[in-house]
Amino acid sequence: MKNKLTNTYLISKSFKSYIFVSIMGLISATIGMVIDGLFVGNLIGIKGMAAYGIASPFFIFLAAISTIFANGGTILSSNYIGREEKDKVNLSFTLTCFIAAVTSIVIMFLSPFYVEWLSVILGAKGNLIPLTADYILGFTIGTFSLVFSQVLFSYTRLDNSPNLGLISVLIATIINAVLDFVFTAIFGWGMFGIGVATTIGYFFAVISLLTHFFSKKNNLHLIRFNSFKEVINILRIGLPSALNRVFTMVRTIITNYLAILIGGTIIMGALSIQSNVNQLLSSVAMGIGMTTMLLGGVFYGEEDKRSLKDLLTISLKWGLLIIIMISILVIIFAPFIVAAFGSNPEILPVATHSLRLFALSLPPSLIGVIFLNFYSSINNIYMANYIAFAHSLLFISLFACILTPFIGANGIWLCFFLGETTTILGLFILIKFKSGKWPRTATDFLMLDNDFESNIKDSFEISLENDMDQVIELSNRVQSFVDKYPNHEDKLFKVSLCVEEMVGNIVKHGFDSSKTHYIDIRIILVENDVIFRIRDDGKQFNPIEYGNKDNSSENALGIAMVRKIAKNMEYRSTIGLNNLTITI
């Protein structure tokens, strides 16, 4: 084994497998909105495009409602998964579904009564009011499907079915695109038809996601509840992500007003195209952020500081690599991207210029999104709320309001890069203020609670290959750890037996190929117990169920011996990995 006892193989593998599905899922969902914009721009015209942009803040508001439930519920559930509290996982899942359903149904049934005055509040004037109101009404009558699809999308990812989320949004996107054409080009329903097509697409996404909960892979169940106390935790944890959406909505209203004020439908049309492209590009940052949030919630529940540090490093490394490449492509191909939204000669050069300047803001924006989701996953609501407010509203709006009176539309185009960059500088200053030192390493950015890992007296961590020789060497290393604590000799000796039996079993039977894999081992010494954790990327195998069977094989006997030694054993398959926790 190498001198460095641990590596990032398993975290990197889980992150990369989930990041692809998350990004593709969100891009597929966003493509539906982009397709709406393409049909509006080409079939309804510049006024339709302006109405589409004016209505976008309310769609962002509905997305915020979805986010507070989806992120709050899944972060809380992932924390409970890390703590091996299965009943609380199902309780938080049940309450998330309940409050999401009630809230969305209320918004849906009241929609016919408020769409016109809402359109005026959002900035619509004259003949833009009916166009905006029609579009809002079309997608608002499907609020239940919109909100519930996001909740189920997040929970199926947590429950080891990330590909189903991708399938669901592909179904929604295809249906949305087909119905956009049918409702506008054939039925002539205009902006209302565009909204209804989105509603129907999300409905079929919900249907496809529900199939997971009737499969054998499902570990999530609706249960009876007697209290709404846990709802407070769901809302509190989901609040930063929701505020990020709400602040984005307010910022969009501000920039829309400025665009209409200085340039009318031309600048507003260019800003709508930029916003439309931003919805697609922000899916990349959101996919990376959601993956960080999902894994971070589990590691936080396990009180695993090393894994949290590695996760943050991996997120920033891969995220920046991806987003910088995308920024370069946007700058190069901006004219062709803009042309897809229509051939208006007045809008094309303005929108191309705006898109190129906007591309500069993507890297700092990604950093903000990663930290927002990371701090949400570790329940550092203070830090998460700062990023949500500064990144989505404060600095971008401030620069827009200051610069636009002096340099016109360029003030709107530049405010995104300047605002996002200032947010990251503010993060450094805030960490210096909170911790007393400037952040230089990934550990400095964690900002964990002072009592995090406070119950851990000592720990031993190692990553080893699927090699029996390394299992033998591992036993020797564990014995050296045992020798340091003579008062816990009996418990630690039992751990040594468990290590040899369970890790050896994984090496022998857990992998189908001879390719090198790694197994993460963590032994934790707490006040009265010793906790032994194993994480691997092999075949799904629950040793608890296997040990319960009437089986006289060598493996079953070994597992039965471990069960007799252990005070408790918990197995879970989540984030694409096997996780076994044994308490002695």
Domains in the chain (CATH in brackets) are 8-443 (no CATH), 456-583 (3.30.565.10)
Three-state secondary structure call for residue 88: helix
CA pair distance 203, 196, nearest whole angstrom: 11
pLDDT band at 7 (very low <50, low <70, confident <90, very high): confident
176 with 196: CB under 8 angstroms? no
Q: Across the chain, what does the average pLDDT equal?
A: 85
CA pair distance 185, 102, nearest whole angstrom: 35
Supply the DSSP symbol for 583: E
* 548 or 443, which is more confident: 443
**Interval 151-172: pLDDT, tens:** 998 899 888 887 888 888 888 8
The sign of the dihedral angle between the CA atoms of 159, 161, 165, 168 is negative
Instruction: Name the residue with tokens 């004259």.
Output: 126
pLDDT value at 414 more than 50: yes
User: What's the whole-model pTM score?
Assistant: 0.81
Secondary structure of 362-423 as H, E, C letters = HHHHHHHHHHHHHHHHCCCHHHHHHHHHHHHHHHHHHHHHHHHHHHCHHHHHHHHHHHHHHH
Give the mean model confidence (pLDDT) for residues 215-227: 86
Q: How far from each other are the two terminal CA atoms of the chain, in whole angstroms?
A: 27
376 with 384: CB under 8 angstroms? yes
**Interval 493-546: pLDDT, tens:** 777 777 778 887 888 777 776 778 888 888 888 877 888 888 888 888 777 776
CA pair distance 538, 506, nearest whole angstrom: 8
pLDDT the model gives residue 302 = 86
The sign of the dihedral angle between the CA atoms of 450, 454, 457, 459 is negative
Supply the DSSP symbol for 579: E
pLDDT the model gives residue 3 = 35
544 with 484: CB under 8 angstroms? no
CA pair distance 510, 156, nearest whole angstrom: 24
pLDDT the model gives residue 477 = 78
270 with 347: CB under 8 angstroms? yes
- 466 backbone dihedrals φ, ψ, rounded to 5°: -75, 70
> From residue 432, how far is each of 268, 362, 367, 383, 436 by CA, in Å?
40, 25, 18, 12, 5
**Interval 260-271: pLDDT, tens:** 888 777 888 888
Q: Where are the alpha helices (DSSP H) in 83-161?
A: 86-110, 115-121, 128-140, 143-158
Candidate from 391-405, 437-451, 492-506, 569-583 with smallest mean pLDDT:
492-506
By DSSP bridging, strand 518-525 and strand 530-536 are antiparallel
196 with 141: CB under 8 angstroms? yes
**Interval 71-83: pLDDT, tens:** 899 989 988 888 8
**Interval 296-343: pLDDT, tens:** 998 998 888 999 999 999 999 999 999 999 999 999 999 998 888 876
Three-state secondary structure call for residue 189: coil
Give the mean model confidence (pLDDT) for residues 49-64: 82
Residue 228 burial (10 A CB sphere; 0-12, 13-18, 19+): exposed
pLDDT band at 2 (very low <50, low <70, confident <90, very high): very low
Three-state secondary structure call for residue 85: coil
CA pair distance 481, 389, nearest whole angstrom: 46
Three-state secondary structure call for residue 6: coil
pLDDT band at 551 (very low <50, low <70, confident <90, very high): low
**Interval 339-393: pLDDT, tens:** 888 767 888 898 999 999 999 999 999 999 999 999 999 989 899 999 999 988 9
- What the block records as the tokens of 370 is 């990663």
